[in-house]
Chain A
């Protein structure tokens, strides 16, 4: 199985600022995704990170608020922009390994974000 590293693991930020979260995988992957998990809740897909092109966002999430990059097969970033207390959540990346036909997804450890 792959090692999926997320940085930072946690952060406390001031409202109005932005934070970029990194996701690095040590194996070749086909698909990368970004999720949000609000306290005590389930996982909600933010977007699919597409290599070399714009991410595909789910309903309710927009590029201006959550810009995503994926410059190569094994690395992606999610930026949470102009943060407010409502953005306090765990942000998780997930990946599908090469050769697995779109499933299953494996998750990183997540980034626990608190906005003051």
Chain B
């Protein structure tokens, strides 16, 4: 099955700085890579996703890059704001299912 590793486990950034979270996956057949944001006590919410026929995708302050050869993908948040503080999960598909990384707790310091 698919194995997804995520780093770092915690990330503290100054407001306005950028945050980068990296994930690697094991199954070369994976072709879909979503990112979820989970605020304390809330549901995981999809914030951006990328498919394997695309190398980069951007949505306002959030971008995701994918390197299929190296089997890794990254989430980039620019101009971080206090409301970006949350746990972020990467995932990769295994056929129709998703395998999740362990999560990154992001804290944005005012």
- By a beta-carbon cutoff of 8 Å, the part of chain A in contact with chain B is 31, 33, 41-45, 48, 92, 96, 102-110
Question: How close is B62's CB to chain A, nearest CB, in angstroms?
Answer: 15
Task: Tell me the complex Cα distance, A33–B94, Å.
Answer: 14
The one of B34, B49, B103 in contact with A42, judged by C-beta atoms closer than 8 angstroms, is: B103
Known contacts A103-B49, A107-B43; A42/B89 CB under 8 A: yes
- Residue of B32, B42, B97 with most chain A CB atoms under a 10 A cut-off: B97
Task: Tell me the complex Cα distance, A41–B99, Å.
Answer: 13
A33 to chain B: which residues have CB within 8 Å?
97
- Contact, CB under 8 Å: A31 / B96: yes
- Show 21 A/B contacts (Cβ-Cβ < 8 Å), sorted by A: A31-B96, A42-B100, A42-B102, A43-B100, A44-B100, A45-B97, A45-B99, A48-B97, A92-B43, A92-B44, A102-B93, A102-B96, A103-B32, A103-B34, A103-B49, A104-B34, A105-B46, A106-B46, A107-B43, A107-B45, A109-B43
- Residue of A31, A48, A96, A103 with most chain B CB atoms under a 10 A cut-off: A103
Task: Tell me the complex Cα distance, A102–B102, Å.
Answer: 23
Question: How close is A97's CB to chain B, nearest CB, in angstroms?
Answer: 12
Question: How close is A9's CB to chain B, nearest CB, in angstroms?
Answer: 10
The one of A31, A102, A108 in contact with B43, judged by C-beta atoms closer than 8 angstroms, is: A108
Task: Tell me the complex Cα distance, A108–B45, Å.
Answer: 9
Report if B86 contacts A (CB, 8 A).
no
Task: Tell me the complex Cα distance, A33–B44, Å.
Answer: 14
Task: Tell me the complex Cα distance, A83–B53, Å.
Answer: 44
A42 to chain B: which residues have CB within 8 Å?
89, 100-103
Task: Tell me the complex Cα distance, A44–B93, Å.
Answer: 13
Minimal Cβ-Cβ distance residue in A for B94: A45
Report if B98 contacts A (CB, 8 A).
yes
Minimal Cβ-Cβ distance residue in A for B105: A40
The one of A41, A45, A104 in contact with B46, judged by C-beta atoms closer than 8 angstroms, is: A104
A92 to chain B: which residues have CB within 8 Å?
43-44
Task: Tell me the complex Cα distance, A106–B36, Å.
Answer: 10
A106 to chain B: which residues have CB within 8 Å?
46
